[in-house]
Amino acid sequence: MSAARHTILALLLILAQGALDNYINLSVYLDIFLCLFIVLALPPKWGSIPSMTAGFVLGLAVDILGNGIPGMNAAAMTAAGVCRKGIFELTAPKEKEKREGIDTMGLRNFVLYSMPLVLICLTVYILLDSSGFRPVGLCLARLGISFVVNTLLMAILYMISIDRNRRR
Amino acid sequence: MKGRNQYILYLINFIVFILLETVALRLISHNSVLQRTELVKSISTVTNVFSGGAGNISRYFSLGKVNRRLAEENVQLRRENDRLQAALSDLAVPDSLLTESPLFDYIPALVVSNSTDRLHNILIINKGKRDGIAADMGVVTDRGIVGYILSAGEKYSKVSSILDIDNMASGTLTGSNTFGVIQWDGKTARRTVMHDIPVHTVFSEGDTVVSSGYSLIYPPGIPVGTVSGQMLRDGVNYDLTIDLFEEFSRLRQVYVVSRRDIQELNDLMDDQQEKGGEQS
């Protein structure tokens, strides 16, 4: 994914996340992390520090735009940012040409790549939001539903955003 | 080299991660009372665990210092005890006139070498001439007589243990106030023998034996052990078996006893010996 394309996508997703947080009342069992896709789509050669910083800044932007408690999204997306490179290394295909970016890794591998990061991000967010993990039942349901929905959303965003020419 | 760089990189990543998460958590705690309460609770739990562990470690490493402080405190208490005992024995004299300093000085020392399995057992202590140690000074603990200084080096001194078959000390049976000679029989480090107890002496097993004070070496009243057996010798005296209070195999902290008027007493004894020689 080119830098320009990535920047435009980032801006759009931040705005969409802000609108979602401000104007749409979702269930208490559902937390949407559209901006996580921006972290997932960062170039694989980026190290953990740039990924973490990007996650932190994006999370903070979402917190401010979404009128939430500042720091919640930032903490969650920083945690995802620190693990991004390691998880990419584990889930990307072995072939060198397919490891250049998310465009070339294929949907299946992308889903495998996004799942643990979605889970990390949600776990940190729910942990902070519910100040622990209480009540457990509600938190687990929230985590489960949000995980499924966010993974699907990441897959959809992947399908929409990837550079098809490059994928071929 | 590559592995080292990798390690440094991981470390930097970790530090940046902690930094960013700290900033995020600070923001959260500043903006939400509930989250702040829970965060403070979690942080205090973690810090309590760490400070508890750190406290235990530092306490462990400061045990030596504590031990030295206790030993010094013990010396002070012994001096005070001596002073009070002297005051008690001079009841007729008003306290204001008792300006005399305590009779015994105590120098704390640590045993650096010890033996209990020979007939002539000796100890080495970590104090010597430069600490004021001289030959023939007594060595005691709060649980008994240990021996006397055989020779003093600059930093270390050799002690003839009470567990030496040639070493003798004067003891008193507290129940009957009878004196006897304490001399080890070489059998076990847990027991010694008190000789020359007259047959008419009333005593029972379990009676305590203390140092008599009829020696120039040991102060009076140092506990030695308890009577655990008796044997009639020559039909006129008992030999009492004494269970020692002090465990010599675990001996560590001792006190060297220095008698302040030792020179005067030695001079007196020398005079007496000279007179005895002239008369004969």
Domains of chain A, each with CATH number or no CATH: 3-167 (1.10.1760)
- Asked if residue B73 belongs to a domain, the reply is yes
- Of A155, A167, A140, nearest in space to A34 by CA: A155
Do B26 and B87 belong to one domain?
no
Torsion of CA B216, B218, B222, B225, to 10 degrees: -100
- Of A160, A147, A150, A159, nearest in space to A108 by CA: A159
| Residue in A47, A74, A131 closest to B27 by CB | A74
Do B225 and B186 belong to one domain?
yes
Domain coverage including residue B56: 2-61
Contact B13 A56 (CB under 8 A): no
Do B80 and B153 belong to one domain?
no
Backbone angles phi, psi at B149, to 5 degrees: -70, 120
Q: Is A68 left (phi over 0), alpha (psi -120 to 50) or beta?
A: beta
Q: How many domains does chain B have?
A: 3
- Asked if residue B83 belongs to a domain, the reply is yes
Dist. CA B200–CA B24, nearest whole Å: 89
What is the nearest CA distance from B42 to chain A, expressed in angstroms?
A: 9
* CA A22 centroid distance within chain: 19
Interface probe with B: pick from A60, A69, A123, A127, most Cβ of B within 10 Å: A69
Q: DSSP state, A94?
A: S
Q: What is the pLDDT of residues B161-178, one digit of tens each?
A: 999 888 889 999 988 888
| Residue in B20, B21, B31 closest to A69 by CB | B31
Range of A64-73, A115-124, B204-213 with top mean pLDDT: A115-124
Q: How confident is the model at residue A168 (pLDDT cuts 50, 70, 90)?
A: very low
Do B98 and B161 belong to one domain?
no
Binding-face residues of B in 13-72 toward A, CB within 8 A: 13, 16-17, 20-21, 23-28, 30-32, 34-35, 37-39
Contact A71 B24 (CB under 8 A): yes
Q: How confident is the model at residue A66 (pLDDT cuts 50, 70, 90)?
A: confident
Q: For chain A, give the mean pLDDT.
A: 85
Neighbours of B229 (CB within 10 A): 13
Query: Burial code of B97-127, b = ≥16 C-beta within 10 A, e = fewer?
Result: eeeeebbbbbbbbbbeebebeeeebbbbbeb
Contact A53 B38 (CB under 8 A): no
Do B202 and B241 belong to one domain?
yes
- Asked if residue B270 belongs to a domain, the reply is no
> Within a 13 Å sphere around the CA of A147, how many CA atoms are in the beta-carbon half?
16
Checking if the pLDDT of B243 tops 90, the result is yes
Do B153 and B88 belong to one domain?
no
- Asked if residue B79 belongs to a domain, the reply is yes
Dist. CA B91–CA B145, nearest whole Å: 28
Dist. CA A12–CA A157, nearest whole Å: 12
Please tell me whether the interface predicted TM-score (ipTM) of this complex is above 0.85: no
Give Cα separations from A166 to A2, B36, B48 (angstroms): 10, 47, 55
Do B96 and B171 belong to one domain?
no
Residue B90, pLDDT score: 54
Do B49 and B164 belong to one domain?
no
| Residue in B20, B21, B35 closest to A69 by CB | B35
Contact A49 B31 (CB under 8 A): no
Checking if the pLDDT of A95 tops 90, the result is no
Dist. CA A76–CA A58, nearest whole Å: 11
Q: What is the mean pLDDT of residues A107-131?
A: 90
- Asked if residue B275 belongs to a domain, the reply is no
Do B116 and B206 belong to one domain?
yes
- Asked if residue B269 belongs to a domain, the reply is no
Checking if the pLDDT of B96 tops 50, the result is no
Q: What is the pLDDT of residues A135-146, one digit of tens each?
A: 788 888 889 999
Which chain A residue has the Cα nearest residue B39?
A: A131
Give Cα separations from A168 to A42, A134, A164, B26, B70 (angstroms): 20, 47, 6, 46, 82
Contact B26 A49 (CB under 8 A): no
3-state SS class at B267: helix
Neighbours of A70 (CB within 10 A): 20
Checking if the pLDDT of A87 tops 60, the result is yes
- Of A111, A122, A45, A112, nearest in space to A80 by CA: A122
- Of A12, A53, A63, nearest in space to A4 by CA: A12
Residues B36, B40, B42, B46, CA torsion sign: positive
- Asked if residue B117 belongs to a domain, the reply is yes
A86 in reach of chain B (CB within 8 A)? no
Do B143 and B218 belong to one domain?
yes
User: Which position has the higher pLDDT, B36 or A55?
Assistant: A55
Block residue for tokens 């059998």: B187
- Asked if residue B112 belongs to a domain, the reply is yes
Cβ contacts of residue B200 below 8 Å, gap of 6+? none
